[in-house]
Every structure is written in structure tokens, then in C-alpha cells.
């Protein structure tokens, strides 16, 4: 198969009136078994798309999925980091229940050596063999199953082909691409392409090839990009394009602001990251064009979402999630809010929107339901089918739960969350305090209402505490090595000298003579 090298941007023509005519009345789903293409991004934040309000990033192909389908205005990942969210999609359960509460490979217990008050809780390091994954459910129903891209749900013996996927291109235990985003990939289950071949384009072409080979039978294909995770890498032409498009920082304004633990990016102007967004958008276009070419688009469900918020602190400090607070690894909305779109021309009217809070755990029962397959309520116990919403109705109101008893590399603190109606309560395991936010009136989580509304705070905390106990959630324990002076000095260094290094580095990226290395597609990354 011939690989593409950064094809020109191809805007998908969105014929809104024509697509709207394809929307059928409630319940009239196509009698033929629908195909499914589930597209999962890595580290893409809620506002990292032009269709979600970014004036810097360009993503016409991804935007078209929302424009031609249903956009959930309150889409959520089930965790602020990757592995737990990915497990929820595969299993239909929240991290506290399935035990995968941190990215697999993170240190826990006494292996954690940073000077913090509690020890991160222990967690499961692979998908449980006894659980039935979404791929296994589709395979039981006679579907072909395919996986391409990032897995990060266990070591060998717990890779995609061990959990229901007939074919696996690139999914293994690593969370970031071993060779970066250009060939040679150094990936044990993906052959290298010519030097400099684009990884997201290659993964999209592998997916397109699978669709061509299986167009005469129903298929469930998951395209799980490594993008836009670190290392941030792009080509020189794309860097030049976005360097010229980057907004000028007003005189005296800083690019980073310290929020409790780490500096947090306040502006979208990283030209290398913007190039990554454009490239992965081109890759999504490859798959969408293949569905159109094969006349499969009408009866194919396309889902698009991400595994956690954009990286605004820690890692490469690459994007801003404003007006949402925080980002990947953090407990606020910037860490867990995601784009979540479902396009299904045979059943969904183009341009639909819904404000119901939904999560990645809902995809398992929703996709089975849309395909007319039997649900597995004993498996996807935390997910609910969104088919009633798709058919113009609603689902029962329910609480949503998050559990992250760990310290994030991006400055997050061990916490658990309950969200019910407009209220969001965050419980902190370090000292037992609670924060309460009214998301309807304060989406940026700037005003903690826990002291002014103690009754609601206590009610939600009791509900959250009871749920954590019922599902057997593991909680952090005090660290006997804790030294408050050492902790204070650790964060003082990060918030002063490290912050200045970040300001200097990210300013240099925008200089006309900047380059990461001689080849441009070698790794580079900022220091935490």
C-alpha cells in the first residue's frame, strides 16, 4: 500500500441541506447492519478544533463530522489521563470500577518519589481478560473488527488482538509513539514506512485499506491516533504556516500562569502543535473520503472523541483549554471535557446538538444499540445507550463520577468527582477538602461555592463517598516520608525558574530561524 506524505488540505464539501434530507424519522434505522468507525484522539482538548471555537487551529474534516451529525456540547472523557479513558471505551465502565485509574506505567505507592503528601493508589495495569470488550461484542455479532494506533492497555498478551480485534496495526503497550510521528516508527506491530512517512496518515491509510477489503461485510474499525500526544512534531512548512498565523501576544502578557501547582498555558499559539492538528485532520479526511468513495457513508456510524483534555501544563505545554480551567492530568473541566460527535446519515439529522452530559463509557451500549445488537448490561454497567437522544428524546438524569487517586505529571492532585445537574463537586484526598462549582454559571470553575452552600456540598460528598465504596475504589494513603518544607521548595522551583524557561522556549519557537534539529522530524520536547 502506497503511503501519503502530507496530502494537500481537502475541505470536505458539506452540503447541509442535502444531508439534512437524509435524516429519517425517529426509530427508522437502516435495516442493513451499520458499519462503525470509532476515531479516538490522544490529548485533544475541548477547544483544539476550529469547529469548537479555536481561531488558530484548522480542522475542517473533523468539523464536518459534527456538522453532518450530532454534536454533544457536554462530552466527557472518564479520566483526565489516557489509559483509564481508553479502558472505559473498551469496557463501558468507569475507572473506579474497573481499577485502571492511571496511565499504565505510572508509579504508585512507595515507588512514587516526588515529595507529596499521599501515596498514589495502586491500580490495574491491563484490561481484565474476563471482561467482554466492545470489539468482542461486535465480533460475536459477526462483525469484522480492526484496530489502528495507540492502545496503552497492557503489555504483550493484553494487546488489541487479545481483546477482540481481528487485525491490529500499531497498538501495543506504549503510550507515545516509540519513534515519534515520522518513520521509522520503532513499533513492534507496525512496519516502518519510507523515512519521514507521517504516522497519522499511515494509520488512516491502514484503516482505509481495511474498509476497502471488508466493504461487503459489517465492520467495527477503531482508529486510535497517537496524535496529538507528545512529542510535538511537524514539518517545516506547517511550522512556517502556523508561525505566521500565530496571534501576537499583547505587550506585557505572559504565555503561562501558575494555577496552584504548575504553570498553565493561556494562549493557543504553538505552531508545531497546530501543524499536528492539521495533519491528523488530513488523516481523518482520508477515512471519510474512503467511506464516500465506496458509498458506505450513509450506513456507517462515525464517532469522534478524545481521551482527555489538551496539554496545557506538563509534558509539552502545547495548548490552552480556556475558557475551561486546567487541562490533561487536572481535575477541572479542561482535563476531562472533550469533543464528542456521532455521524450516522441514515438516522441523525445534520447539525444536531444536545447538551446532555455524556462520556466515553456510553459509546459501548450506544453503538450496539444503533446497530440493532443485544446490549450487555452486566458489562457496560456505567455506560448508557444514547440512542434515545439520537432519536430526538432524552435519557434519564444520572450522576457522573471520576476517580483519579494519583498525582498527574501535569499538576493534578489526587481527587474524586461527582457531577449532577449543574453541580460539580471535587473531593481532594490530600486533606479531605471539597470544592463545589456551578457549571451552568461558572464553566471556568473560578468560584468555589462549598462554603456558601454547605448543604449541597455535604449531599454530593456523601453520594460520591458511598459510590466509591460500592465499586471498591482504591484511595491514596498518607506518605510516611512527607516533608512539607521539601514539597514547598519543589513547587517553588517549578513556579519560578521553570516558568521562565517555558516563557523563553515557547517564544523562541515563533522565531523565523528556529528549528528543532537538522531533519525537523526528530523528537523535541520542553522540560517540565
Mean model confidence pLDDT for the chain: 92
Which whole-number Å values give the CA distances from 434 to 87, 410, 429, 430, in the listed order?
27, 21, 9, 11
What is the C-alpha separation between 243 and 255, in angstroms, rounded?
15
pLDDT confidence of residue 274: 98
**pLDDT above 90 (res 22):** no
Cα four-point dihedral sign 510, 512, 518, 520: positive
Neighbours of 246 (CB within 10 A): 17
Band (521; pLDDT cuts 50, 70, 90): low
Neighbours of 397 (CB within 10 A): 9
- The CATH classification number of 415-475 equals 3.30.1120.10
What is the C-alpha separation between 231 and 199, in angstroms, rounded?
12
**pLDDT above 70 (res 520):** yes
Q: Say how far residue 33 (Cα) sits from the centre of its chain.
A: 28
**pLDDT above 60 (res 242):** yes
Residue 527: phi and psi, rounded to 5, are -90, 140
Neighbours of 304 (CB within 10 A): 28
Cβ(211)–Cβ(287) below 8 Å: yes
What is the C-alpha separation between 390 and 372, in angstroms, rounded?
14
Which whole-number Å values give the CA distances from 357 to 210, 275, 383, in the listed order?
33, 30, 12
Locate cell 495495569: which residue? 125
**pLDDT above 70 (res 272):** yes
Across the range 278-285, mean pLDDT stands at 98
* Residue 118 CB partners (closer than 8 Å, separation 6+): 414, 429, 430, 476, 477, 478, 479, 482
Band (267; pLDDT cuts 50, 70, 90): very high
**pLDDT above 80 (res 39):** yes
- The CATH classification number of 34-399+483-508 equals 3.40.720.10
Identify which of 128, 124, 125, 107 has the alpha carbon closest to the alpha carbon of residue 116: 107
Grouping H, G, I as helix, E, B as strand and the rest as coil, residue 495 is helix
Cα 114–Cα 119–Cα 122 angle in degrees, nearest 5: 120
Lateral strand order in the sheet of 337-338: 337-338, 75-76, 358-359
350 versus 3: the higher-pLDDT residue is 350
Angle between helices 271-293 and 236-245 (to 10 degrees): 110
Domain definitions of the chain by residue range: 34-399+483-508, 415-475
**pLDDT above 80 (res 129):** yes
**pLDDT above 80 (res 401):** yes
**pLDDT above 70 (res 446):** yes
Residue range 352-376, pLDDT digits in tens: 999 999 999 999 999 999 999 999 9
What is the C-alpha separation between 110 and 122, in angstroms, rounded?
10
pLDDT confidence of residue 29: 41
Band (408; pLDDT cuts 50, 70, 90): confident
Residue range 319-347, pLDDT digits in tens: 999 999 999 999 999 999 999 999 999 99
pTM of the full predicted structure?
Answer: 0.92
What is the C-alpha separation between 340 and 383, in angstroms, rounded?
15
Neighbours of 446 (CB within 10 A): 9
pLDDT confidence of residue 522: 57
pLDDT confidence of residue 252: 85
Band (12; pLDDT cuts 50, 70, 90): very low
DSSP state of 523: -
Identify which of 204, 5, 4 has the alpha carbon closest to the alpha carbon of residue 212: 204
Cell numbers that stand for 150 in this block: 495507540
Q: Over pLDDT 70: what percentage of the chain?
A: 93
Cα four-point dihedral sign 77, 81, 83, 84: negative
Residue range 79-104, pLDDT digits in tens: 999 999 999 999 999 999 999 999 99
Neighbours of 357 (CB within 10 A): 21
Amino acid at each position: 500500500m502506497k503511503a501519503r506524505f502530507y496530502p494537500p488540505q481537502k475541505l470536505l464539501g458539506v452540503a447541509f441541506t442535502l444531508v439534512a434530507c437524509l435524516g429519517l424519522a425517529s426509530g427508522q434505522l437502516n435495516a442493513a447492519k451499520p458499519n462503525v468507525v470509532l476515531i479516538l484522539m490522544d490529548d485533544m482538548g475541548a477547544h483544539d478544533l476550529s469547529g469548537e471555537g479555536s481561531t488558530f487551529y484548522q480542522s475542517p474534516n473533523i468539523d464536518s463530522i459534527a456538522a453532518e451529525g450530532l454534536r454533544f456540547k457536554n462530552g466527557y472523557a472518564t479520566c483526565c489521563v489516557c489509559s483509564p479513558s481508553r479502558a472505559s471505551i473498551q469496557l463501558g465502565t468507569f475507572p473506579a470500577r474497573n481499577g485502571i485509574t492511571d496511565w499504565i506505567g505510572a508509579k504508585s505507592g512507595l515507588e512514587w518519589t516526588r515529595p507529596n503528601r499521599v501515596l498514589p493508589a495502586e491500580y490495574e495495569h491491563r484490561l481484565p481478560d474476563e471482561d467482554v470488550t466492545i470489539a468482542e461484542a461486535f465480533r460475536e455479532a459477526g462483525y469484522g473488527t480492526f484496530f489502528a494506533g495507540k492502545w496503552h492497555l497492557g503489555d504483550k498478551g493484553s494487546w488489541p488482538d487479545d481483546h477482540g480485534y481481528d487485525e491490529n496495526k500499531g497498538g501495543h503497550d506504549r503510550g507515545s509513539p516509540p519513534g515519534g510521528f515520522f518513520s521509522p516508527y520503532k513499533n513492534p506491530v507496525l512496519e516502518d514506512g519510507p523515512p519521514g512517512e507521517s504516522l497519522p496518515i499511515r494509520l488512516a491509510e491502514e484503516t482505509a485499506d481495511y474498509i476497502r477489503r471488508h466493504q461487503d461485510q459489517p465492520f467495527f474499525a477503531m482508529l486510535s491516533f497517537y496524535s496529538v500526544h507528545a512529542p510535538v512534531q511537524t514539518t517545516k512548512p506547517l511550522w512556517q504556516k502556523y508561525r505566521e498565523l500565530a496571534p501576537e501576544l499583547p505587550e506585557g502578557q505572559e504565555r503561562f500562569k501558575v494555577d496552584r501547582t504548575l504553570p498553565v498555558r493561556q494562549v493557543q499559539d504553538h505552531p508545531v502543535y497546530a501543524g499536528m492538528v492539521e495533519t491528523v485532520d488530513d488523516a481523518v479526511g482520508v477515512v471519510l473520503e474512503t467511506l464516500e468513495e465506496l458509498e458506505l457513508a450513509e450506513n456507517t456510524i462515525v464517532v469522534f472523541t478524545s481521551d482527555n483534555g489538551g496539554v496545557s501544563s506538563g509534558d509539552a505545554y502545547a495548548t490552552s483549554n480556556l475558557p475551561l480551567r486546567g487541562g490533561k492530568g487536572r481535575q477541572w473541566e479542561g482535563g476531562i471535557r472533550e469533543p464528542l460527535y456521532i455521524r450516522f446519515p441514515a438516522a441523525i439529522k445534520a447539525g444536531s446538538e444536545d447538551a446532555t452530559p455524556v462520556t466515553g463509557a456510553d459509546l459501548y451500549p450506544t453503538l450496539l444499540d444503533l446497530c440493532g445488537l443485544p446490549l450487555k448490561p452486566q458489562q457496560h454497567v456505567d455506560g448508557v445507550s444514547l440512542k434515545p437522544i439520537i432519536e430526538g428524546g432524552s435519557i434519564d438524569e444520572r450522576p457522573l463520577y471520576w476517580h483519579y487517586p494519583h498525582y498527574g505529571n501535569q499538576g493534578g492532585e489526587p481527587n474524586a468527582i461527582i457531577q449532577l445537574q449543574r453541580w460539580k463537586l471535587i473531593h481532594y484526598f490530600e486533606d479531605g477538602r471539597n470544592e463545589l462549582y456551578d457549571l451552568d454559571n461558572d464553566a471556568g470553575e473560578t468560584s468555589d461555592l462549598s462554603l456558601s452552600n454547605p448543604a449541597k456540598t455535604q449531599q454530593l460528598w456523601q453520594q460520591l463517598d458511598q459510590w466509591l465504596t460500592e465499586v471498591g475504589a482504591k484511595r491514596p494513603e498518607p506518605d510516611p516520608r512527607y516533608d512539607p518544607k521539601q514539597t514547598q521548595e519543589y513547587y517553588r522551583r517549578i513556579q519560578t525558574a521553570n516558568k521562565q524557561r517555558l516563557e523563553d522556549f515557547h517564544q523562541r519557537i515563533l522565531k523565523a530561524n528556529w528549528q528543532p534539529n537538522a531533519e525537523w522530524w526528530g523528537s523535541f520536547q520542553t522540560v517540565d
